[in-house]
Each structure stands twice: as structure tokens, then as C-alpha cells.
Chain A
């Protein structure tokens, strides 16, 4: 059974995104196939050079870099949302696959859940 965790909330403002990340990592750690899909303002998780020390947090960029270690199958980002927020190959972190977040994409997963 494959699970898709969707994050459509921007980073740092709330804890739901980090909780979703924990959920995905937990699934992967127990050998359950899991992928992450970032849509809407959620794609801002994937920007390079996040320096969160000034707001007393750790960079979510670092959290995400652990995804392959846990065995997350894919980090997906909605193409049009990336356009909206000026994210391209130069500004995205490594290992992100651009997709169209539509109904056809979701048919690839047995279970899709949102954060928050």
C-alpha cells in the first residue's frame, strides 16, 4: 500500500507541516511506501538557503534532506505552484521532482492524506 502525504501550508508558521514530515518518515521507517507532495504555498518548503536561526527554529530544508535516508520514495512538487513562487531548478533543493498535482497523479497512491 502506497501513501502520499500532501503539504499545502507554508513552512515555519505552524507545526502541521513538520508533523506531516514525521508521519511520512515514520511510514518509510517501517517499510511502508511513502511519498511527499508539496502544493500551493507548501512548495516554499523546498527553497534553498533557508536560515531559520533568526526565528529560533531549525531549517526545514535540513529535515527534508533526511528523506532519502528514511526511504521516502519521492519528493514531488506541483509545477504551477513552483512557478507562482518563483521556484525553479536553480532555487529548489536537490531531489525534487516537478509534477502536475492533479487527479491522475493521485490515482498512483492507495492513500492520500493532508497535513493539518
Chain B
């Protein structure tokens, strides 16, 4: 895996104002990890092209979206820890 400059961890749903602010800040070398209500972006289909996209699978499964990960890589809780260690810095939105 290549290094991630900033890992953006987004737990806000697409309707939350902070979600839009987060998506604005994702750049090409970054990772965007959708957790909690953030996984609803998988259904709302308005995600940025920039950066690598990840989704926490237990949260996607809980919301009936486990099949919808699309171009997002599904990660479990261990994978989330690995991502946060791999990133140079983390922003928890």
C-alpha cells in the first residue's frame, strides 16, 4: 500500500454541513474513510474522485449498504487501525 498523506475519517451523513467541508479538503494523496453515518455517501453517490476511498464494513452492513461499496475498499476495525497508522496525519471530522 502506498502512503496516505492525510486520512480523513468522516462519520457525518451527506446532509451534515461538516461532510461537505470534509470532501472539499480531500486531495489526491489523501484517503477518505467513511464510518458511521458517513457510509450513507455510498448510497447518495456524490463522492469526490480525489484520493483513495474506504468504508468501514460493519457500519455499511448495519445500514443495509454492505453490497454498495462500489469503488470504496471495505475495511474492518483492524483495517481502520492499520489505515490510521499508515497515514502521516489524521483528521476526524
A residues near B, CB below 8 A? 8-13, 40-41, 44, 47-52, 54-55, 57, 59, 61, 84-87, 91
A47/B66 in contact, CB under 8 A: no
A49/B64 in contact, CB under 8 A: yes
Tell me the bound Cα distance from A61 to B57 in angstroms.
Answer: 18
Q: Evaluate whether A84 and B13 lie within 8 angstroms (CB atoms) in the complex, with A55-B58, A55-B59, A55-B62 already known.
A: no
- Which residues of A are found within 8 Å of B14, using beta-carbon distances? 41, 84
- Which residues of B are found within 8 Å of A51, using beta-carbon distances? 61-62, 64, 66
Which of A8, A9, A59, A85 has the most C-beta atoms of chain B within 10 angstroms of its own C-beta? A85
A10/B62 in contact, CB under 8 A: no
| B77 CB to nearest chain A CB (Å) | 9
Which of B37, B45, B57 has the most C-beta atoms of chain A within 10 angstroms of its own C-beta? B37
A12/B62 in contact, CB under 8 A: yes
Q: Which of B12-67 contact A (CB under 8 A)?
A: 13-16, 36-37, 40, 43-45, 57-59, 61-66
Q: Which of A8, A12, A84 is within 8 Å of B63, CB to CB?
A: A12
